[in-house]
Amino acid sequence: MPPANPGEQPSIFKWETLREIGADNLQREKGVILGKMCEIELTSGKTVRVWKADDGQQYFCHGLTFGGKEVPGGVISPYTGAAVETILQEHYQMIPEGQARAGDILVWRGITPETTPHSAILTAPVVVEGKGYLDESTMLLTKNGLSPETAMALGTLIHNFYGESYSTMLIACDKRKRREGGKSWTNTCRQPVLKRTTMRAWCAGFAKNAEAAAATRRRRRAR
Q: What is the 3-state secondary structure (H, E, C) of 25-93?
A: CEEECCEEECEEEEEEEECCCCEEEEEEECCCCCCCHHHHHCCHHHCCCCCCEECCCHHHHHHHHHHEE
Residue 172 has a pLDDT of 64
Cα–Cα dist 71/50, whole Å: 12
Q: Quote the pLDDT of residue 68.
A: 95
- d(CA 204, CA 190) in angstroms, rounded, equals 23
Regarding whether 28 and 105 lie in a shared domain, the answer is no
Q: Which residues contact 131 (CB under 8 A, 6 or more apart)?
A: 98, 220
Q: Is residue 140 part of a domain?
A: yes
Per-residue confidence in pLDDT tens, the chain, 223 aa: 343 444 356 899 999 999 999 999 988 777 899 999 999 999 999 999 999 999 999 999 999 999 999 888 889 999 999 999 999 999 999 988 889 999 999 999 988 888 999 999 999 999 999 988 899 999 999 999 989 999 999 999 999 999 888 878 887 654 444 444 433 222 222 222 222 122 222 333 333 334 444 555 555 556 5
Last residue within a domain, chosen from 85, 111, 135: 85
What local confidence, expressed as pLDDT, does residue 185 receive?
A: 26
Indicate whether 216 and 125 sit together in one domain.
Answer: yes
Rounded Cα distance, 208 and 112, in Å: 9
Domain that holds residue 212: 92-222
Q: Rounded to 5 degrees, what are φ and ψ at 92? A: -130, 160
Report how far residue 22's alpha carbon sits from residue 184's, in angstroms, rounded to the nearest whole number.
39
Q: What's the confidence (pLDDT) of residue 154?
A: 95
pLDDT of residue 214: 53
Pick the last residue of a domain from 63, 85, 107. Answer: 85
In this structure, are 181 and 214 located in the same domain? yes
Is residue 171 located within the same domain as residue 130? yes
139 and 104 share one domain:
yes
Same domain, 117 and 141: yes
Q: What is the model's pLDDT at position 112?
A: 86
What is the model's pTM?
A: 0.74
Answer whether residue 2 is part of any domain.
no
Per-residue CA distances from 19 to 13, 122, 132, 196 (Å):
12, 31, 43, 26
| Count of domains for the chain | 2
Is 77 found in the same domain as 99? no
Residue 152 and residue 80 in one domain: no
61 within domain boundaries: yes
Residues 46 and 61 in one domain: yes
Q: Do residues 114 and 208 share a domain?
A: yes
